[in-house]
Amino acid sequence: MRGTQREAQRVTSCFFRGTWPSPPPPSPPLQRRRRSWSRSSSSPGSAASTMEPALSEALNGSGPAEPPAAPSPANGTARPPSTPEGIALAYGSLLLMALLPIFFGALRSVRCARSKNASDMPETITSRDAARFPIIASCTLLGLYLFFKIFSQEYINLLLSMYFFVLGILALSHTISPIMNKFFPANFPNKQYQLLFTQGSGENKEEIVNYEFDSKDLVCLTLSSIIGVWYLLRKHWIANNLFGLAFSLNGVELLHLNNVSTGCILLGGLFVYDIFWVFGTNVMVTVAKSFEAPIKLVFPQDLLEKGLEADNFAMLGLGDIVIPGIFIALLLRFDISLKKNTHTYFYTSFVAYIFGLGLTIFIMHVFKHAQPALLYLVPACIGFPLLVALAKGEVTEMFSYESSAEILPHTPRLTHFPTVSGSPASLADSMQQKAACPRRRRPHSPSAL
């Protein structure tokens, strides 16, 4: 899918419970009132308010969430605590889902970088962009916070749902397009189409959107639209994850760091950003509570007990995937530029990511408190490859490498992949805006991935 394909909480409510001394036997009218109160306190609506969560109060969008303690069954709204097996399954699934878009997005970023078509070139993040990004992300987060404080949360989330509905369909279409192309027969009637919007006339005529697509793209869009309608109507966690994985993969594929120094600036700035907004204020927690959009991956901890209708989730923000992911993709391209037929830095950074995210989950599980995942991911993803470069004497080559200065000669084949097995919401929004808004200085053409 080409052109505009570049366009990559539920929250815990506080539960209050009172205990009342046993009164003397009430009169019949009072007894009726008491029975009525008991029924209302255990009604489905009340239960929903206590089971609403499970997440962002404990999480804030920066890592997997530990479920709140189960209330006493005295009021009829309790739910059984998650089993150790369910928690392990949820955390393991989040780890796996985080690794998939990084691995395949890094491979696709290589293909994207070697594209000879100027309109298919990825968005390159420069040192200036990296230095400004934490400031822009902070302003976006604070703006969302004020919006939710001033305006009705219901209407804001309705607009956000429609926005991410459109972006999710486009991102998912772009993600599944290479896979779907393998299933089309050779004689499939593949017609070409173009959607063109311009402004002005004559010499002042300027393209706003130049969207080219074909019949195969329409099939992918139709399938993605079905997922989009499912998400819009049900907000089901599987549909949420499909969109989240598509956003993450597109982000790693289409957002390129131009060199390692830029990556260190970006990760270092967001390292401070994540810590400040998680531990320093309640802004990120409030936004995470109010924000309903596929900007995180979720997995139920009670899946074994309730199946697909489970509602006690652990989650991981997309920023904790995309931010380290674009740095790992850069190291893969650096590996290829060395022409040594090895992928040492890619493997090292990939294992470092697993270590950092695993450490985040472990500390959060032990201390029962939300953790900014970048606090652990950034030192791991930068420190491990740097130690390898020091040991191999390639620090100078690493920091002098310019990703945008060359066209990679071939797509790597990664073999013997190791079997070892968080997030500012604004990163996903920024990535999706870049994907959604083509630059006016050049038209977008379909990508043939």
Mean pLDDT confidence for 349-355: 96
Residue 428, pLDDT above cutoff 50 = no
Question: Would you say residue 446 lies in a domain?
Answer: no
pLDDT in tens, 378-411: 999 999 999 999 999 999 999 999 876 554 444 4
Catalytically annotated residues: 274, 320
Q: 439 is written with which tokens? A: 């630059």
Confidence (pLDDT) at 15: 31
Residue 224, pLDDT above cutoff 50 = yes
Confidence (pLDDT) at 207: 83
Confidence (pLDDT) at 185: 86
Q: 282 is written with which tokens? A: 């309640």
Highest mean pLDDT pick, 76-85, 201-210, 226-235, 422-431: 226-235
Alpha carbon distance 169, 366 (integer Å):
38
Q: 150 is written with which tokens? A: 């001033």
Highest mean pLDDT pick, 144-153, 294-303, 399-408: 294-303
Question: Would you say residue 382 lies in a domain?
Answer: yes
| Run of H or E residues at 211 | strand 206-214
Mean pLDDT confidence for 45-58: 33
Confidence (pLDDT) at 439: 41
233-246 CB burial, b ≥16 within 10 A, e <16: eeeebebbbbbbbb
Q: 33 is written with which tokens? A: 């009132």
352 phi-psi bin (left φ>0, alpha ψ -120 to 50, beta other): alpha
With pLDDT > 90 as the criterion, what percentage of the chain qualifies?
Answer: 37
pLDDT band at 442 (very low <50, low <70, confident <90, very high): very low
Mean pLDDT is lowest, of 22-31, 345-354, 356-365, for 22-31
Question: Would you say residue 197 lies in a domain?
Answer: no
Higher pLDDT, 350 or 282: 350
Higher pLDDT, 328 or 274: 328
Percent helix, strand and coil across the chain, each to the nearest 5: 60, 5, 30
pLDDT band at 100 (very low <50, low <70, confident <90, very high): very high
Confidence (pLDDT) at 77: 42
Name which of 86, 47, 53 is nearest 67 in CA terms: 53
Confidence (pLDDT) at 13: 37
Dihedrals φ, ψ of 192, to 5°?
-100, 145
- Report whether 226 contacts 236 (CB < 8 A): no
Report how far apart, in Å, the C-alpha atoms of 142 and of each of 283, 286, 290, 308, 377 are: 7, 10, 13, 35, 24
Question: Would you say residue 210 lies in a domain?
Answer: no
Confidence (pLDDT) at 120: 57
Helix (H, G, I), strand (E, B) or coil at 102: helix
| Run of H or E residues at 104 | helix 84-113
pTM of the model: 0.72
Mean pLDDT confidence for 107-133: 80
Question: Would you say residue 198 lies in a domain?
Answer: no
Residue 194, pLDDT above cutoff 60 = yes
Mean pLDDT is lowest, of 57-71, 237-251, 301-315, 379-393, for 57-71
Confidence (pLDDT) at 79: 57
Report how far apart, in Å, the C-alpha atoms of 91 and of each of 115, 300, 405 are: 37, 9, 39
Q: 166 is written with which tokens? A: 């459109």
Confidence (pLDDT) at 241: 94
Question: Would you say residue 280 lies in a domain?
Answer: yes
Residue 44, pLDDT above cutoff 70 = no
Residue 438, pLDDT above cutoff 50 = no
Confidence (pLDDT) at 116: 54
Mean pLDDT confidence for 218-231: 93
Question: Would you say residue 15 lies in a domain?
Answer: no
Residue 74, pLDDT above cutoff 50 = no
Number of domains in the chain: 1
Range of the domain at 248: 45-68+81-151+232-433
pLDDT in tens, 306-341: 888 888 888 888 999 999 999 999 999 999 998 888
Question: Would you say residue 190 lies in a domain?
Answer: no
Confidence (pLDDT) at 299: 92
Residue 103, pLDDT above cutoff 60 = yes
Q: Chain-wide mean pLDDT for the chain? A: 75
